[in-house]
Amino acid sequence: MHSQIKTVNSTTTVPGDPSGKETIVVALGGNAILKPGEKGTFAEQMTNIGHTAVQLARLICEGKQLIITHGNGPQVGRIFRQQELGVQAGLPEMPLYICGAMSQAQIGVMIQQAMHNELVLAGCPKTVVTMICQTLVDQESAAFRDPTKPIGSFYSEEEALKAMTEKGETWKEDGGRGWRRVVPSPEPLEIPEIKAVKLLIKKDVNVIVSGGGGTPVARNSGGTVAGVDAVVEKDLVAQEVARAVAADTLLILTDVKHAKINYRTPQEQKLGEISLAEAKEYHRQGHFQPGSMGPKVLAAIRFVESGGGKAVITSLEDALSGAEGKTGTIIKRSGAADGSPG
């Protein structure tokens, strides 16, 4: 489905940006690619991405510079499963971080193609390209001592024990459903390719970077890097990219319109525009679940704290008004005009 996109010669000047162009880092949640209950066929994924591309292309046509990142959970899970099944056919298995890179390319090109087509239809001559990026992590950090992120399928205790002794992997029993491999979820320290990202955006190219949190790598003593099996939260990587390119806006698009306090209690309240101090206090009080809303609010806090203009958490459908800071949970350094929660 293609909507009518009107091209606008935007002349909006953003304070602090000499080019006068607003730079937005967009973090796309899993629902941009796959909806709950879907099987995950290529056609289903392409349809969902098509709807997302309409919104993102419109932002570009309005004169914004986009840097897009996205989740990869279901996709990397399937690529990983394909590796496991391939072993039975005598095919060599690729490490998890290479499966992640495959998913960066797979999802990246789908978004890239859908956006290319939307831009062509809108008569907006802009380029979108996918960059397979690495994410530097610290193998000495606490995340590596206690892996928490489950990946792949469920297995029997016997198979789990075999993988633990033979491959040195960590496996955990998952709520009576069976055993799953768990990997560390470390902090992103740096994007080794950030210079290339900056060069491209300087040349007006819109980029898709660090999908699924990027390919995790650890630095060796000589400065070289090597891949590690870990999964970095894509929201935290989006923040790191946004900080590094001095973006104006961090736009986190997910399946809910607002972050909430007292989530799933009778006292639940949506958060509108809040100050950095309020966001930090609510985060400290534990209102946002780890592994879902927690990293989004943390990314928003870090971005604004590092000098970013505004961070917005809202639903995919509200991308356009979210980018303008009119919808969703909006975090700014000095905070709420109208007071929140509301």
The contact set with ligand ADP (CB under 6 A) reads 29-30, 71, 254-256, 259-260, 263, 287-289, 292-293
> From its phi and psi, is residue 335 left (phi > 0), alpha (psi between -120 and 50) or beta?
left
Write down the catalytic residue from 21, 296, 310, 332: 296
31 is an active site residue: yes
Q: How far is the CB of 52 from ligand ADP (least distance, A)?
A: 12
In terms of CB distance, is 133 or 259 closer to ligand ADP? Answer: 259
Q: Is 126 a catalytic residue?
A: no
Cα–Cα distance for residue pair 196/201, rounded to 1 Å: 9
Q: What is the dihedral of CA 93, 192, 298, 293, to 10 degrees?
A: -30
Q: 29 catalytic, yes or no?
A: no
Nearest distance, CB of residue 282 and ligand ADP, angstroms: 9
* Sequence-separated contacts (24+) of 222-225 with Cβ below 8 Å: 225/134, 225/136, 225/192
Known active-site residue 296: yes
- Comparing CB distances to ligand ADP, the nearer of 21 and 70 is 70
Catalytic residue among 29, 30, 50, 213: 30
Min dist CB 290 to ligand ADP, Å, is 9
- Strand partners of residue 24: 66, 249
Helix (H) or strand (E) holding 313: strand 310-315
Which lies closer to ligand ADP via its Cβ, residue 149 or residue 310? 149
Shortest reach from residue 275's CB to ligand ADP, in Å: 18
Whether 30 is catalytic: yes
Catalytic residue among 21, 126, 234, 332: 234
| Phi, psi dihedral angles at 314 (to 5 degrees) | -155, -175
Residues 322 and 250: beta-carbon distance below 8 Å: no
Residues catalogued as catalytic: 30-31, 149, 234, 296
